[in-house]
Amino acid sequence: MRTRATIFTPILLLMILLLGGCASLQSLWQTGRDGVPDWVDSPQVAIGYTAFVGTGTAASERSARLLAYQDIARQLVEATGRNEEASWYRELSSTDGIADFQLRISRTHIQPKDGKYTFYAMTAVRTSLLETMRSDVLKAAVEREESISSLQQKARLEFRDNKDVNALLLYMEAAAISATGPVMAKDNSLESIIGRIDSILDGLEIRINHFYPEGPSLSLSIHRRRIFSPRVLRAPVRVDFTSTGAFGNIYPDYLSATTGESGNAELSGFNPAMTREGDLTISLDIGKEFAVFADAVGNDVAEPLRAKLEMLNAVHHYRKESSILASTIIVDISSHSADGERLSRDYTQESFVTRFMMDGIRLIPSSISSQDSAQDEEDDDAYLADVRRTYPLAGYVIRGKAGVTEIFLEDRKPVVIVMGEASLVRLSDAHVLAYTDLQRTLAWGDTLEEAMDIALNDGGYLLASRLLSQIL
């Protein structure tokens, strides 16, 4: 019996192996019959590597291949936790590899069926590299969570101390961080933080405590909307307006301030070049911080908050006044050539008058003075007496002169330098109320006449701007 058992035991083992082999052959035959390689379902890679197989089906081979590559990029996101699917897909589809993973597509297979194509692609990544990426992502998530929690705690303290705008900025910073990746605590989610930002904006209002439109000057404070609410401290504010450049160009301008520890902001001392009449737009001065916030969270999230921020703005109309403007003002500014001769057309006076008209101030042009040479005190008295006789209702005269002082060539084009000055004189007592000092303008043109006309014209704008800054 023992001998028979000894003989049949190896035979039995051999039969088991043969049956197992038949099963494996059947599996291989099934794979071959379907036309799909065995590495699609059972990828074989070296020890220490992890395989990724992407599949894509589309109406064309190229589209199917791209879908398969996108599938691999998606699997890499799941394996590492890094949200870089788009960049990895772009790199993979253009180079058949991804540098971050040191990978290349190692196997591909295309299978047409029923008018469509299915593309299979295989690659492998070192398992240790995947684990390193996963730990880096986890570490970044913990650091992100800690940063958000710290910023929100600071924001709560600022809000408690009536520094609502400071709290708003801290919440915006926290939201920008939250938008960079997943967070664990619900309190640190982007949705929760946006809710707090929205609540602060809903609760604020700008109050104008004093406004002097003729200056202009104003004082303001920021409050929470509830009754008897305290003033918001250390809130940055700005007033936007328009100013006029030295040569008549209009440009946007602004003045910044803060409500400080008193909760009140005093705004005066505006740019002397500000237009005589216009609107002052008062707002929270957090535009740069909001732009960073909006870039981080996206326009869909930021736009409703931007609208609420703009709803806080207050607009007030101003018009600068001066007692001088209540009287008739004569202007007599002569233009001279390089040899001192008075030109038949006073370009400087024309642009001078135009600049005053931009601020709604009408001047009466005159040409009483020849000003062909320097005037002494006796000549000045005679000139003013002549103005009083000619314009008995006038209260002031603006007297000036502009002339070409230098001509030279630059790159074969004529360049002209003009020097000029102007004074505002009260006719009743000959007192000089304002003086521009000597002003210099430079211009070039295709011809000498063109360069001279431009320089004299610019001189008028410049002289007018200098006087207006002293009058208004």
**Domain limits, the chain:** 36-138, 206-285+303-319, 323-471
Q: Quote the Cα angle for 417-423-428, to 5°.
A: 160
What is the full DSSP assignment across 49-61?
Answer: EEEEEEEEEESSH
Residue 133 has pLDDT above 90, yes or no: no
pLDDT at 19 over 50: no
141 pLDDT band, cuts 50/70/90, is confident
Helix (H, G, I), strand (E, B) or coil at 105: coil
pLDDT for residue 367: 77
The yes-or-no verdict on residue 4 having pLDDT over 50 is no
Give me the pLDDT at residue 374, please: 43
CATH number corresponding to 206-285+303-319: 2.60.40
d(CA 334, CA 126): 85
Residue 432, CA distances (Å) to 44, 92, 306, 376, 423 in order: 98, 78, 51, 15, 7
Output the pLDDT for position 132: 87
Average pLDDT over residues 436-460: 95
Instruction: Calculate the average pLDDT of the chain.
Output: 89
Residue 455 has pLDDT above 70, yes or no: yes
For residues 310-329, average pLDDT: 94
String of DSSP letters for 191-240 = HHHHHHHHHHHHHEEEEEEEEETTTTEEEEEEEESSTTPPBPPS-EEEEE
Q: What is the largest CA-CA distance in the chain?
A: 154
* pLDDT, tens only, 368-407: 865 444 444 457 888 999 999 999 999 999 999 999 999 9
Identify the pLDDT of residue 370: 52
Q: Give which of 175, 212, 207 is closest to 190, Cα–Cα.
A: 175
Average pLDDT of the residues in 291-306: 96
Q: State the pLDDT confidence band at 35, using cuts at 50, 70 and 90.
A: confident
- 232 pLDDT exceeds 90? yes
What is the pLDDT, as a whole number, of residue 378? 53
pLDDT of residue 380: 82
> Which single residue is written with the structure tokens 């070039």?
444
User: How far from the centroid of its chain's Cα atoms is residue 170's Cα?
Assistant: 19
Helices (H), ranges, 35-84: 38-41, 61-80
With 0-12 CB in 10 A as exposed, 13-18 as middle and 19+ as buried, what is 30? exposed
CA distance 31 to 332: 102
Give the DSSP H/E element, type plus range, for residue 111: strand 107-113
More confident: 39 or 182: 39
Helix (H, G, I), strand (E, B) or coil at 351: helix
441 phi/psi in degrees, rounded to 5: -130, 150
Assess whether the region 36-138 and the region 206-285+303-319 belong to the same CATH fold. no
Look at residue 275 and give its three-state secondary structure: coil
Q: C-alpha 260: how far from its chain's center?
A: 26
CATH of domain 36-138: 3.30.1660
pLDDT in tens, 338-378: 998 999 899 999 999 999 999 999 999 997 865 444 444 45
Residue 231 has pLDDT above 60, yes or no: yes
pLDDT at 222: 97
Strand partners, 107: 122
Fold of 323-471: Rossmann fold (3.40.50)
Can you tell me the mean pLDDT for 86-96?
94
Residue 33 pLDDT greater than 50, yes or no:
no
Check residue 229 and give its pLDDT: 84
Give the C-alpha separation, 295 to 176, whole Å. Answer: 8
Q: Helix 299-311 crosses helix 287-297 at what angle (to 10 degrees)?
A: 150
